[in-house]
Amino acid sequence: MQIVNEKSKCCGCTACVNSCPLDENAISLSFDEEGFLYPVIDTDKCIECHACVKACFYHTGVIDIERISKNIHSYAVVTKDTDLLNKSQSGGAFGEIARVIIEQKGVIYGAAVTDDGVVEHQRIEAVEELYKLHGSKYVQSQMKDAFFYVKKDLQSDRWVLFSGTPCQIMGLRKYLKKEYSNLVLVDIVCYGVPSPKLWEKFLESYVSKSKEKIKKIVFREKRLGWKVCKTVLEFANHKIVTDGWTRLWGGGNALRPSCYQCKFSNLDRPGDLTIGDCWGIEKVYPNFVNEKGVSLLIANTKMGEAVFDKLKNNVDFCKVDINSVLQPRLVEPTKQPKNREYFWCDYKSMESDEFFHKYTKKPIREIVRNWISTGLNFIYQLKFFTRRLQ
């Protein structure tokens, strides 16, 4: 018996692994040749209870969520806390949601980056630890036994906030099997999850050249501009700013096969709340634009609206028509590139430097466009200062 027959029908949420009733789990996770984790069943241990199959939404369907109403409650949000805004990759919505739960002496589960650069879900219960979960992580988070501990906290009557990709949220719902009045689920507007092993190889290419260990990773350095998507790798004596990783995952080839057929790339969201960047806010509410970022927050359920009511005094917000700030991944999944097969063939056969050079280099037309833009900006600045001197 194997639970995964098609890789496009497994998101790696771990609901199946955590559902195995055996003390010595019959299901383990193993990396495939593209660097994604998939469940593997040990047939010698398996008792064929099918608990894993029942927990998988690819096998047994998604759970219908009770919505507030047919009218979508969507908001543009910016935290009033300057420090939180600076640390957040967008408008600070997640940090404010997390504070609501921590004030209830609850716990938070979200994606963090370890000292080795691995992205994994971690459990925190203090405001001082929230920094670990701030910011986007453009790699699939390793869940490990997060679902197990979420259930344990819920059964101990702790408030729990779990944030993750929509498929992780639905996976948790399926694993729990029932609704909990002390659980808040936050899904992100997800463009697809890149390979953890590809990310590891990407980091190694910089570490091997620098001969130093990376001290800090920022997937999207907002100090370069909210709309600038560049990764910062900080070493002991220097830092590297690169758009190489953005090019890899943004090109679409590096994503998990299931992402191209995502069930949640629409407005039928699995979380109580949905958060993301509020791209397009400048077109509908230009006075609300903040150069440090604006979050999109959608309250999908009564629980989500209740949480928003508790945090809204701590943020600047305005209600927005979702259609005016509709993100592409709220309409349809990322399309699978035609050259994806060649991309992974190159990954397996090429040396790292050759591979990353091929897939992260800037096209000539983009280089020329940047030169022209820089040149025009220089001429504009020169004319401006010349007029001031006259």
**Look-up: residue for tokens 């509020």?**
278
The domains located in the chain, with CATH, are 7-60 (3.30.70.20), 73-193+255-330 (no CATH), 197-253+338-370 (no CATH)
Identify the pLDDT of residue 67: 82
pLDDT of residue 224: 75
CA gap 212, 162 in Å, rounded: 34
pLDDT for residue 248: 94
One-letter amino acid at 131 equals Y
Helix axes 166-176, 146-155, angle to 10 degrees: 50
Per DSSP, the three-state class of 5 is coil
pLDDT the model gives residue 226: 85
Tokens linked to 253:
């080839």
d(CA 188, CA 163): 8
| Cβ neighbours of 322 (radius 10 Å) | 17
Dist. CA 341–CA 347, nearest whole Å: 10
In this prediction, residues 266-294 reach a mean pLDDT of 94
Task: Give the rounded percent of residues in the chain with a pLDDT score beyond 70.
Answer: 92
Please give the pLDDT value at position 111: 98
The total number of residues written for the chain in this structure: 390
pTM of the shown model: 0.91
119 by Cβ neighbours in 10 Å (0-12 / 13-18 / 19+) ranks as: buried
Single-letter code of the amino acid located at 52: C
Say yes or no to pLDDT of 3 above 90: no
| Euclidean distance between CA atoms 88 and 110, whole angstroms | 14
SS3 of 138, please? Answer: coil
Tens digits of residue pLDDT in 334-349:
999 999 999 999 999 9
State the pLDDT at residue 384: 44
